[in-house]
Amino acid sequence: MAGAVPQIAVQDVKSKLDNGEDVFLLDVRTPEEYETAHIDGSHLFPMDEIPSRLDELRDAIQSRPVITICHHGVRSHNVAAALLQRGFEDVSSMSRGIDAWSLEIDDSVPRY
Contact 69, 39 (CB under 8 A): yes
Residue in 70, 82, 83, 98 annotated catalytic:
70
* Residues forming a β-bridge with 25: 67
Active site residue 70: yes
Q: Any idea which residues carry the catalytic annotation? A: 70
